């Protein structure tokens, strides 16, 4: 196969990774990202955001309680922890509008008694997730939502290192009897199409290895849509966060239903 044919085949495969309803949005987004001036600007912005400290986004606290998705403290009730980066923390929109907060609404509406803990931190990579895991799993954690990898993809972290870090997170949670939901992420082809495809496969292979559910692409329906993205073209708006919750909920709900200690009356 010629170099041109191989590149075209790789490109077609990459597009096929995403739901057909999102392909046009992704094509437009990738086209803009690959314009020379915009590409250099976008990479600079993305890498800068990836190194921002997490001063405004604290993770789970000590024995006195945890920060819920809305930032309030709660007693020891069954917890669902969302371990992630700024896509999880609600950067630019606040915790009250982040996808963990929306998932809390969905659980309440379904009468499922859980507290969602927003353990998102700006700039977090899979390696940061490993370092923060012990604190994130304190208390009565029953489900761990692993939503890491976006910053790894922006930095060009070797895929094997990404897989190793995510494997550690999943295995440690499973060892504690915690159910795990993995959220898939895609890498823009700024490091080449081969890297993007390996990055994509890493999440599927992880889910298959540990036999845990996988959200194929947590940003499906968000990327490339103006109303879903903030002006930085990186972080979701409140509407985008709700779309992320829509992507996660069909996979989270069965886990919650299987282990819910008791159903509570849904608010009228």
**Among candidates 144, 128, 140, 95, which has minimal Cα distance to 248?**
144
Average pLDDT, the chain: 80
User: Does the residue 219 lie in any domain?
Assistant: yes
Q: Which of 96, 171, 194, 232 is catalytic?
A: 232
Q: Which of 25, 97, 200, 235 is catalytic?
A: 235
| pLDDT attached to residue 35 | 41
Flag whether pLDDT at 26 surpasses 70.
Answer: no
Give percent of the chain above pLDDT 70: 69
168 is catalytic: no
265 located within any domain: no
Q: Does 235 participate in catalysis according to the annotation?
A: yes
Cα-based angle 101, 104, 105 (whole degrees, multiple of 5): 95
Place of tokens 């600079």: 44
Q: How far is CA 268 from CA 108, 156, 264, in A?
A: 11, 48, 12
Of residues 19 and 130, more confidence is placed in: 130
Token pair 């604290």: residue: 58
With CA atoms as reference, report the closest residue to 197 among 205, 206, 186.
186
The enclosing domain of 109 has a CATH number of 3.40.50.1110
Q: Note the pLDDT tens digit of each residue in 132-171.
A: 999 999 999 999 999 999 999 999 999 999 999 999 999 9
Q: Is residue 267 part of a domain?
A: no
pLDDT value at residue 262: 53
Q: Say what the pLDDT of residue 252 is.
A: 98
Report yes or no on 108 lying in a domain: yes
Which is it for the CA torsion 157, 51, 154, 103, positive or negative? positive
Place of tokens 């939901």: 181
**198 is a domain residue:** yes
pLDDT (tens digit, 9 = 90+) per residue, 220-266?
999 989 999 999 888 999 999 999 999 999 999 999 999 976 555 54
Categorize the per-residue pLDDT at 44 as very low, low, confident or very high, splitting at 50, 70 and 90.
Answer: very low
Residue range of the domain that includes 165: 3-259
Does 266 map to a domain?
Answer: no
Higher model confidence: residue 62 or residue 82?
A: 82
52: in domain:
yes
pLDDT of 74 over the 60 cut: no
Q: Is position 46 within any domain?
A: yes
Set 86, 98, 122, 196: catalytic member: 86
Output the pLDDT for position 13.
Answer: 43
Give residue 219's pLDDT. Answer: 97
**Residue 86 annotated as catalytic:** yes
- How many domains are contained in the chain? 1
pLDDT for 224 equals 87
CA dist., res. 143 & res. 116, Å (int): 9
Residues 115 and 104: beta-carbon distance below 8 Å = yes
Give how far the C-alpha of residue 38 lies from the chain's centroid of Cα atoms, to the nearest Å. 25
pLDDT at 105 over 60: yes
Instruction: Give pTM, 2 decimals.
Output: 0.74
Question: In the predicted model, is pLDDT for residue 55 greater than 50?
Answer: no
């Amino acid at each position: 196969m010629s170099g041109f044919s191989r590149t075209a085949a790789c490109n077609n495969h990459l597009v096929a990774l995403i739901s057909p309803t999102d392909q046009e949005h992704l094509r437009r987004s990738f086209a803009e990202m690959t314009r020379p001036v915009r590409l250099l600007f976008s990479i600079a912005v993305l890498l800068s955001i990836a190194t921002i400290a997490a001063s405004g986004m604290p993770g789970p606290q000590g024995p006195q309680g945890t920060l819920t998705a809305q930032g309030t403290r709660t007693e020891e009730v069954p917890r669902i922890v969302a371990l992630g980066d700024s896509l999880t923390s609600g950067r630019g929109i606040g915790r009250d509008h982040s996808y963990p907060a929306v998932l809390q609404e969905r659980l309440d509406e379904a009468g499922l008694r859980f507290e969602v803990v927003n353990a998102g931190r700006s700039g977090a990579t899979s390696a940061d997730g490993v370092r923060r895991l012990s604190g994130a799993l304190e208390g009565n954690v029953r489900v761990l939502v692993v939503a890491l990898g976006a910053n790894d993809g922006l930095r060009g972290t070797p895929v094997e290192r990404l897989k190793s870090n995510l494997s550690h997170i999943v295995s440690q949670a499973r060892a504690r009897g915690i159910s795990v939901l993995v959220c898939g992420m895609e890498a823009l082809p700024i490091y080449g199409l081969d890297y993007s495809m390996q990055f994509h496969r890493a999440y599927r292979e992880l889910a298959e290895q540990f036999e845990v559910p996988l959200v194929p692409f947590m940003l499906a329906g968000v990327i490339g849509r103006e109303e879903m993205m903030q002006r930085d073209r990186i972080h979701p708006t409140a509407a985008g966060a709700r779309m992320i919750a829509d992507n996660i909920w069909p996979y989270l709900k069965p886990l919650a239903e299987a282990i819910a200690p008791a159903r509570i009356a849904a608010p009228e």
